[in-house]
Amino acid sequence: MEGESQPIFVGARFKDKRELKIACQRLATRENFEYSVVKSDKSRMRIKCLRDGCSWSLYATKIVDNENPFFKIQKMANEHHCVGVLHRGHSQASATFVGAQIQAKLCDQPSYRPKDIQKDIRRDFGIQISYIQAYRAKEEGLKAINGTDEESYKKMPQYCEDLKRNNPGSTIVLECTPEEDGRRFRRVFICYGATASGFQYCRPVLGLDGTHLNSKYKGIALWKSSSVIARAASQRNVFNSGCLNSFHIFS
């Protein structure tokens, strides 16, 4: 689990609202209380203890300092007059919060299972979360580490250009389908120049392998190796040569 978050006190600064929320959630889970959100928008956040009669509250606003805006805690009543959380769950144990706590472990262990996340959260925070909460927390953690699928697809054109620039002689064909909001990825063919030139010294054997993609958008990734494809790639006539008409590569 990640280490202690930034201390919370009047005057404390946070680089953005997300960092402030994570710090408040960690404080609430550590000190065994829950809070409700009174007001929250792009420029401010006000929260108070969920228990009736408890005076604990916090108010923070966004400060625009030249080009580096930040959130600052302006007011805080730091005393509790309640008995705290009396159930096993916790209102502040959201997928985003739990995902932030397990990011370090996800970097080292991408196969981190939801049921193991449940056990670790129970041990480290004394909070019981459901399997679906743990699953969503893992998704949030991986999203924070790797970005979203949509962001990755948007970078495909630049990725192809970078491959061409750094691998002279390569054949890279990116196909997209027209959409109302721009272009949508269809398929991509990649044949590195060094690989294509090396095929002429290989025996005329066809190799084909593939796997189903289990990510959000599914699809199939296929690898096909032969001197026929190498010649087609060298002629820059990949999709119309007949080599790839029977399947999509990375589609």
Q: Per residue in 149-204, pLDDT tens?
A: 888 888 889 999 999 999 998 989 988 887 766 678 888 888 888 888 887 777 77
CA distance 184 to 85: 48
Kindly state whether residue 23 falls inside one of the protein's structural domains. yes
CA distance 90 to 129: 8
Token readout for 4 is 């202690």
Same domain, 21 and 39: yes
* Residues of the chain above pLDDT 70, percent: 86
Whether the per-residue pLDDT at 56 is higher than 90: the answer is yes
Same domain, 46 and 99: yes
Same domain, 82 and 185: no
Mean pLDDT of 115-141: 94
Whether the per-residue pLDDT at 221 is higher than 50: the answer is yes
CA nearest to 91, candidates 147, 52, 39, 34:
34
Mean pLDDT of 211-225: 76
pTM for the model stands at: 0.65
Q: What are phi and psi of 204, to 5 degrees?
A: -75, 70
- Number of domains making up the chain: 2
CA distance 39 to 31: 22
Kindly state whether residue 3 falls inside one of the protein's structural domains. no
Same domain, 128 and 95: yes
Query: Parallel, antiparallel, or unpaired for β 182-191 and 70-77?
Result: unpaired
Kindly state whether residue 202 falls inside one of the protein's structural domains. yes
- Please name the helix (run of DSSP H) or strand (run of DSSP E) that holds residue 236, with its range, or none: none
CA nearest to 187, candidates 145, 245, 232:
245
CA distance 130 to 81: 29
pLDDT of residue 194: 86
> CB neighbours of 21 closer than 8 A, spacing ≥ 6?
45, 96, 97
Same domain, 164 and 191: yes
Q: What are phi and psi of 101, to 5 degrees?
A: -75, -25
Same domain, 199 and 86: no
pLDDT of residue 245: 38
Same domain, 20 and 140: yes
Kindly calculate the radius of gyration of the chain based on its CA atoms and give it in whole angstroms. Answer: 26
Structural domain including 158 reads 151-234
